[in-house]
């Protein structure tokens, strides 16, 4: 996903709206693999502030997940808001010194900015990271998924298994015995 900023690079306050659609069926970032079912759609705009390029917009797709309760595959729609700042990378001159881009006078905090070279901003890494971070820690196939029986492993989405589950903490069993005997000793 790339945005060409050549039309706004010299206009302070200039904006460029874009809609990018790409098919990322198997997205791999570091150790994480993300399987997208639908194309990744990024609708947003780039603004040249005079110091940096501000990219804002929304990314939408559907990903394939494994439910944290019943372990069945499922589809999870994801919508992520992107708000990133990009700056042009410094150039190395023939004499070995770095030359900053014109009109950049203040010191940059590297954690606040992404860098790019040329006239296109590559959004792949930013979009991928935001998609991965937006996945819930325990994704569910549906909100009311009962999961698997802890005793026999039956998928409770398909029906009850008949197991009697004792949810009493063993440290509280003495209190349970008191309650079972109608509170009398």
All structural domains of the chain with their residue ranges:
2-134, 147-185
Identify the pLDDT of residue 36: 81
- Give the separation between CA 138 and CA 140, rounded to whole angstroms: 6
Identify the pLDDT of residue 3: 85
DSSP 78-123: EEEEEEEEEEEPPEE-TTS-EEPPTT--SPP-GGG-EEE-TTEEE-
- Give the separation between CA 100 and CA 103, rounded to whole angstroms: 8
- Give the separation between CA 152 and CA 136, rounded to whole angstroms: 27
Identify the pLDDT of residue 28: 65
73-88 and 114-116 beta bridge pairing: parallel
CB 83 within 8 A of CB 89: no
Identify the pLDDT of residue 107: 53
Identify the pLDDT of residue 93: 46
CA separation, residue 87 to residues 43, 109, 179 (Å): 20, 11, 68
Give me the average pLDDT of each 10-residue run along the chain (185 residues): 82 86 74 78 89 89 88 90 84 48 48 78 87 87 87 85 74 76 55
Identify the pLDDT of residue 33: 67
The answer, as to whether pTM is greater than 0.85, is: no
Query: DSSP label at 125?
Result: H
């Amino acid at each position: 996903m790339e945005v060409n900023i050549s039309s706004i690079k010299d206009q302070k306050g200039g904006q460029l709206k874009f809609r990018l659609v790409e098919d990322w069926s198997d997205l791999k970032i570091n150790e994480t693999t993300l399987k997208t079912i639908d194309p990744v759609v990024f609708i947003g705009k780039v603004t040249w502030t005079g110091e940096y390029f501000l990219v804002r917009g929304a990314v939408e797709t559907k990903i394939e997940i494994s439910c944290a309760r019943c372990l069945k595959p499922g589809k999870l729609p994801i919508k992520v808001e992107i708000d990133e700042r990009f700056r042009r990378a410094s150039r190395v001159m023939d004499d070995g010194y770095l030359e900053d881009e014109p009109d950049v006078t203040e010191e940059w905090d590297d954690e606040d900015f992404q860098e790019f070279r040329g006239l296109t901003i590559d959004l792949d890494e930013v979009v991928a990271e935001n998609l991965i971070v937006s996945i819930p820690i325990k994704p569910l196939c549906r909100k009311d998924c009962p999961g698997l029986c802890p005793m026999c492993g039956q998928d409770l989405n398909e029906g009850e298994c008949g197991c009697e589950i004792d949810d009493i903490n063993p440290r509280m069993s003495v209190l349970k015995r008191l309650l079972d005997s109608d509170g009398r000793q």
